[in-house]
């Protein structure tokens, strides 16, 4: 073995680890507000570091483990796809037990914890994949090449008590952040120290300037280039289904909803592999194959 080459490789990896740790320490999204557990931080730091090293090598795919999240009435349980039956899940308990509530109070309790968990995971996925600015794959053989960042499940008790309606589907609930995921994404901020991204809040029944407003909402932070220039996302879910957060390397030629001129303006300087851009979607898990030609 070339000792000098081995030393250089080791030194390079040390630099990547240090840079990754610095990023995660100072990121207001990852550690301060997203409240990841130590095990999640370790997994996501490693994923982020792979993105840094991938910039040099680019001979293997930018692989990161899929996270599987199950929501119960009083907690989240999280596992990665490399876990064995002997590995205990990561448990994140809520400050309340939704099983103590009934009716609309139960629905609101589940909604506020589910909405926050999904929004935080979207931010985490987007961050650890370098916000779409790094190549995901070593080779691009298909128009839509995907990675599954996370998958969400709801426990059977939640399914039985809530039924089959989409959360926030009723027009009167569409602006309720405890029921509507889309409204939560558009009005709440992941930035530490900010309670909300709303410009105004209600005080004594009157709208007043919100001193705690954030500068960036979950919605704004997780927008990819297709979202910004072609199709704005709408976020909702039905607890009866499983949901996936999917990172896709998309061939620009598959985007037909905007003109070539705008396409080149929007994507021309941020395209990691010439003809591909990176996007992120939150969709029903059984629909993943409809937006992916291949899943790596």
* Domain boundaries defined on the chain: 3-295
Question: How many CB atoms within 10 Å of residue 253?
Answer: 10
User: How far apart, in Å, are the Cα atoms of 277 and each of 21, 140, 225?
Assistant: 27, 11, 8
DSSP lists the bridge partners of residue 270 as none
Q: Where do we find the tokens 């998958």?
A: 151
| Structure token digits, residue 150 | 């996370």
List, for the chain, all residue ranges whose pLDDT scores fall below the cut of 70: 1-37, 51-62, 169, 191-215, 254-274
The per-residue b/e assignment along 174-207, b for 16 or more CB within 10 angstroms, e otherwise, is eebbbbbbbbbbbbbbbbeebebbbeeeeeeeee
CA distance 108 to 98: 9
CA distance 222 to 159: 28
Burial (CB count <10 Å: 0-12, 13-18, 19+), residue 155: middle
User: pLDDT tens digits for 256-295?
Assistant: 555 554 555 455 444 444 578 888 999 999 999 998 988 8
Question: How many CB atoms within 10 Å of residue 50?
Answer: 20
Say if CB 157 and CB 240 are below 8 A apart: no
Res 215: pLDDT: 65
pTM higher than 0.85, yes or no? no
Counting every residue written for the chain, the total comes to 296
Best CA proximity match to 283, nearest among 140, 151, 117:
151
Res 264: pLDDT: 54
Q: Which ranges of 67-132 does DSSP label H, i.e. alpha helix?
A: 103-128
User: pLDDT tens digits for 287-296?
Assistant: 999 989 888 7
Phi and psi of 240, rounded to 5°? -75, -15
Kindly state the greatest CA–CA separation across the chain: 73
Say if CB 76 and CB 117 are below 8 A apart: yes
DSSP lists the bridge partners of residue 53 as none
Res 201: pLDDT: 52
């Amino acid at each position: 073995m070339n000792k000098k080459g081995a030393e250089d490789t080791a030194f390079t990896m040390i630099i990547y680890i240090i840079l990754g740790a610095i990023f995660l320490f100072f990121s207001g999204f990852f550690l301060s507000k997203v409240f990841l557990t130590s095990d999640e931080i370790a997994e996501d730091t490693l994923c982020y570091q792979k993105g840094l090293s991938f910039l040099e090598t680019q001979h293997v795919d930018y692989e990161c483990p899929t996270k599987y999240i199950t929501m119960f009435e009083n907690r989240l349980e999280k596992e990665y796809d490399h876990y064995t039956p002997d590995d205990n899940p990561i448990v994140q308990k809520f400050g309340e037990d939704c099983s103590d509530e009934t009716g609309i109070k139960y629905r609101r309790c589940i909604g506020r914890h589910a909405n926050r968990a999904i929004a935080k995971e979207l931010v985490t996925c987007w961050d650890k994949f370098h916000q779409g600015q790094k190549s995901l794959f070593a080779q691009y053989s298909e128009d839509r090449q995907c990675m599954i960042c996370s998958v969400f499940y709801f426990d059977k008790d939640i399914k039985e008590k809530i039924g089959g309606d989409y959360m926030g589907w009723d027009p009167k609930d569409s602006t309720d952040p405890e029921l509507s995921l889309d409204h939560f994404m558009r009005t709440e901020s992941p930035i530490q120290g900010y309670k909300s991204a709303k410009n105004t809040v209600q005080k004594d029944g009157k709208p007043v300037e919100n001193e705690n407003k954030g500068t960036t909402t979950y919605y704004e932070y997780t927008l990819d280039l297709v979202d910004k220039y072609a199709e704005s996302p709408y976020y909702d879910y039905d607890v009866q289904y499983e949901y996936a957060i999917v990172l896709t390397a998309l061939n620009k030629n598959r985007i037909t909803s905007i003109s070539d001129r705008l396409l080149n303006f929007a994507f021309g300087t941020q395209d990691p592999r010439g003809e591909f851009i990176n996007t992120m979607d939150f969709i029903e898990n059984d629909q993943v194959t409809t937006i992916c030609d291949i899943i790596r």
